[in-house]
Amino acid sequence: MEEWLHENWVTFVCDGTTVMLGKKSGVATRLTSKFRKLFVWHCMNHRLELAVSDAVDEVNSVNHFKAFMQKLYSLYSMSNKNELKDAAAEVDSQLLCIGRVLDVRREASSFRTVRAVWTSLEALVQHFKSAYHDETRSTKEKQIYRGLLDRVQSPEFLCDLGLMYDTLHELSILSQELQARPVTLLRADHLLKCTIRVIHSFKESPGQKYSEALEAKDRGMLYRSVALKQNVKLISIHPRQFLQSIVNNLEQRLSFEDEIIKDLGILDQSKWPSNPSIRHGEEQIKRLCKRFNLCKDQALNGMRDLLEEPNSKPKDLKPLINCMKTFPVSTAEYDRNFGLMNNINTDKRAVLLVSNVSNLMMINISGPPTSKFEPQKYTRTWLMSHHTASSIHSRQCRVKTLVESKSVWRIL
């Protein structure tokens, strides 16, 4: 088994915890000491979360926005009753999507929270007003709702919400693309650079939601049916500072600086010169073949065929391309498998053996769709093995003989 791993194991991907990537006794360190050619990769989705977290730490004003969203989460998601139903029943399902924002989690969940608040802004204002004027509430509760109302009605908060909506929307798209099964490192690099350029462009040309917020601020302080009121006490987010911090941390956390990644980039035709020579990328191909125990001459012939006909798919390059596709971009596949295991091994099916759980997971992950399942042959095997409830063979019990009963008394 170990010899097979030496020949075929290409990549090990994990999150950035000390247990996994510790320099002295981390799992990756121990594996690379045993398998010298193993390529270790830090999950890009996890690095994306860390980049956003670093940007939040650098821009202190974002923490005020984060604290307010946490307050909404505590008010509506953690409460035993949902008081927004009376204010706007039609947006109740949207508001229930509010969760934690800008935490160490997938960016898509943070975006869903911001989108829910943006969509339900009118309902929030209406609810805070009714709660503030409710005479049955205590003075403390009424003051809490007054503070929430003053913040939601401010143009500063609306601009912050629009800025976070546009930024988190782009980051959530990137996060979901990185979690896709067929994505490769070259495709991930392309997606990352596109996202960085889009976020950087927001500094000069604001996104859609931020533009709507600025327009509402300049157009009579009115957004939809919400009358905006200036709140000088509110510390708003500086857009250019926040966007530049996001860009800097994305470039720092998700940069492709490893030599292997740069060598794999030779297969990206968009990076070729206008008139590449017939020996273009020869050194990179040789290093890759040496690293992954591939035939150097075969790969070079395939590369030359590709240079002669860029639209072709040389067979000689197929082993190298297949090796490149085995490089996992993130650990999202592992997370999906753990979620699948939890769906299979529920509380009511806790008696399943590990082998049975493994087989069921394999069928769900790699098996054909249900529409292509042919149960006839399995049913015949089941019937021939007398496993049905109506079979008399399955009901036969072994009766203890008199000799076996006497043997017990002899022991006593």
Same domain for 190 and 166: yes
Q: Which residue has the tokens 């604290």?
A: 67
For 144-190, the pLDDT digits (tens) are 888 888 898 999 999 999 999 999 999 999 999 998 888 888 888 88
Residue 117 in any domain: the answer is: yes
Q: What does the pLDDT average to over 292-313?
A: 90
> Do 28 and 40 form a contact (C-beta atoms < 8 A)?
yes
E strand or H helix at 41: strand 39-42
Same domain for 61 and 20: no
Same domain for 231 and 332: no
Q: Give 248 or 133, the one with higher predicted confidence.
A: 248
Same domain for 328 and 300: yes
Q: How confident is the model at residue 297 (pLDDT cuts 50, 70, 90)?
A: very high
3-state secondary structure 106-128: CHHHHHHHHHHHHHCHHHHHHHH
Mean pLDDT of the chain: 82
Same domain for 99 and 71: yes
Residue 10 in any domain: the answer is: yes
- Give 358's Cβ-side CA count (13 Å radius): 3
Predicted pLDDT at 248: 94
Predicted pLDDT at 211: 94
For 271-287, the pLDDT digits (tens) are 888 888 999 989 999 98
Domain boundary (288, 316, 339) is at 339
Q: Which of 26-30, 89-93, 234-238 has the lowest mean pLDDT?
A: 89-93
What's the structural domain count of the chain?
3
Name the pTM for this structure. 0.78
Q: Which residues pair with 11 in a beta bridge?
A: 39
Same domain for 306 and 335: yes
Same domain for 202 and 65: yes
Same domain for 28 and 172: no
Residue 245 in any domain: the answer is: yes
With a CB cutoff of 8 Å and minimum separation 6, the contacts of 277 are 307
For 183-228, the pLDDT digits (tens) are 888 888 889 999 999 999 999 999 999 999 999 888 878 888 888 8
> Do 127 and 84 form a contact (C-beta atoms < 8 A)?
yes
Same domain for 321 and 178: no
Domain of 72 in residue numbering reads as: 47-253
Same domain for 106 and 166: yes
Same domain for 140 and 156: yes
For 73-111, the pLDDT digits (tens) are 777 765 544 555 555 454 444 554 555 566 655 667 788
Same domain for 245 and 318: no
Spatial separation of the C-alpha atoms in residues 291 and 150, rounded to whole Å = 61
Q: Give 395 or 297, the one with higher predicted confidence.
A: 297
